[in-house]
Amino acid sequence: MIFSVLIVSALLCHDGCSTVSAYSFPPRDVPKRNEYSVNRRAALSQIALVSSTPCLLLPAYAAENILEARLQENSIDPPPYGMEATDTDIFYPSYFLGSWAAVSKTLDIQAPCGFQLFTGGKAGFDSAVKKEVIEGDVLRYKARFITQSRGDDASTSYIAADREFNAIQIAKAAMGGYSVVDVPIATPNRFSCVLGPQSDGSNLICVDIIAIARKSETLSDNKFACSEVVRQIISPATRSNPNNAPVSPLSVKEIETISVYSKTDDDKIQCRQRTATYLVPSQTDPIAFKKWQLSQGKSVDIRCYDVIYTRA
C-alpha cells in the first residue's frame, strides 16, 4: 500500500499517507467528522508548522525494530537502510490476502524545518490542518492484496499489494471516478500514472514513483512493519512528440513511508503510518537548490495517519 499512499500525496499536493493505531494518540477537541474525500488542491497545502512535539505518544516499552523506532521517535534524519538484492518487493504476511475496505484519517501534520521550506507557507499549512486534522476529513477506498509469483519459478509465490488496483481506487476516492487517465507502468520498483483534474481533461499530470530503498520486518505473528523510500516526480503530461522541448518537473521529492500493521482478528487490520518528505537538489531551480541546502538533509514534511482495513 506504500505506492498507493504516494498517489494520494501526488493527488493532494502536486508536491509531496493513513492508519488505526495500536497505541494511543493525543486526544483532539474536534467537531463532528465530515466524511468526504480530500481533493488534490486541499493537500497541496500541507506544509509548514515548526513543531517540537512528537508525532505519536510513545508507549512505555521500547520499540522492537528499526522501523517502529523511527516511527515512534519521529526521526527527521534520512533513512539508515537501502535496497538489498533480496528487497524485490514488500512481502506481506498471508493474512493480508484478499479485498479490504480502508479508512484513512490524518492525525498530525508537522514542518520540522520551518515554514520557509514549504510550498504554500503557513497559509497552506493552516488550510491542510483545518481540513484534514481539525475537521476530520477521512479517505475511504478499496484495497486489494494478491498472490504474485517470484520470477520464473511459478511454484514460489508471495503476497503483494495490487499496486495498480489500489492506486486507481485511491485516486477515485480522492479525485473522482475519471481521475486516472492511464497507468503505463505498475511494478514493485516503479509506478507511473497520468492523472486528470476533477473538472475536465486539461492540465494532466504524470506521476512517477521510483523505489530507492525498502525494508520490512515481521515483529510477531500478528504484527508487521514495512517501509519504502521513493523518489516522486510530478510533471506536466505531454503528448509523445520528439520535437517537443523538454519539460521540467513540477516537483521532485524523496519520501519515506513507514507502516506498522497489527492484525486484530481475521477481518481487521490496524495500521500506524508516517511519511517523511526530503527535498532534492535541483540543477535548474536555484530556489529549490537553496531550500535543499537549508534543510541540511532533514525531513521538511511529516504526516501521521491512522488507517483501518476491514475485510470486504
Query: pLDDT tens for residues 28-39?
Result: 333 343 433 344
In the prediction, which pLDDT does 229 show?
97
- Cell numbers given for 139: 479517505
Residue 231: CB atoms within 10 Å: 16
In the prediction, which pLDDT does 160 show?
96
Between 24-38, 64-78, 111-125, 213-227, the lowest mean confidence (pLDDT) is in 24-38
Q: What is the identity of the amino acid at 297?
A: G
Q: Which residues contact 88 (CB under 8 A, 6 or more apart)?
A: 150, 188
What are φ and ψ of residue 86, in 5° steps? Answer: -85, -5
Is residue 5 a contact partner of residue 257, using CB atoms and an 8 Å limit? yes
In the prediction, which pLDDT does 121 show?
81
Per cent of the chain over pLDDT 70 is: 73
- Alpha-carbon distance of 18 to 106, in angstroms, equals 6
In the prediction, which pLDDT does 87 show?
82
Residue 58: pLDDT band (50, 70, 90) is very low
Of 112-121, 206-215, 235-244, give the range with the top mean pLDDT.
206-215
Segment 36-50 mean pLDDT? 31
Instruction: Please say if the pLDDT value at position 60 is more than 80.
Output: no
The burial of 93, by beta-carbon neighbours within 10 Å (0-12 exposed, 13-18 middle, 19 or more buried), is given as middle
Q: Is 14 left (phi over 0), alpha (psi -120 to 50) or beta?
A: left
Between 39-53, 64-78, 104-118, 268-282, the lowest mean confidence (pLDDT) is in 39-53
Residue 165: its H or E element? helix 163-175
Instruction: Please say if the pLDDT value at position 211 is more than 90.
Output: yes
- Alpha-carbon distance of 292 to 101, in angstroms, equals 38
- Alpha-carbon distance of 4 to 91, in angstroms, equals 16
Q: Is 176 left (phi over 0), alpha (psi -120 to 50) or beta?
A: left
Give residue-wise pLDDT tens across range 79-96.
999 998 788 999 999 999
- Alpha-carbon distance of 106 to 170, in angstroms, equals 15
Question: Please, what is the average pLDDT of the chain?
Answer: 79
Q: What is the identity of the amino acid at 269?
A: I
Of 79-93, 154-168, 214-228, give the range with the top mean pLDDT.
214-228
Segment 209-218 mean pLDDT? 96
Length of the chain: 312
Instruction: Please say if the pLDDT value at position 72 is more than 80.
Output: yes
> For residues 156 and 293, which has the higher predicted lDDT (pLDDT)?
293
Give residue-wise pLDDT tens across range 225-261.
999 999 999 998 875 555 666 677 888 999 999 999 9
> For residues 190 and 38, which has the higher predicted lDDT (pLDDT)?
190
Per cent of the chain over pLDDT 90 is: 53
In the prediction, which pLDDT does 129 show?
84
Instruction: Please say if the pLDDT value at position 42 is more than 80.
Output: no
Residue 161: pLDDT band (50, 70, 90) is very high
- Cell numbers given for 24: 494511543
Is residue 232 a contact partner of residue 249, using CB atoms and an 8 Å limit? no
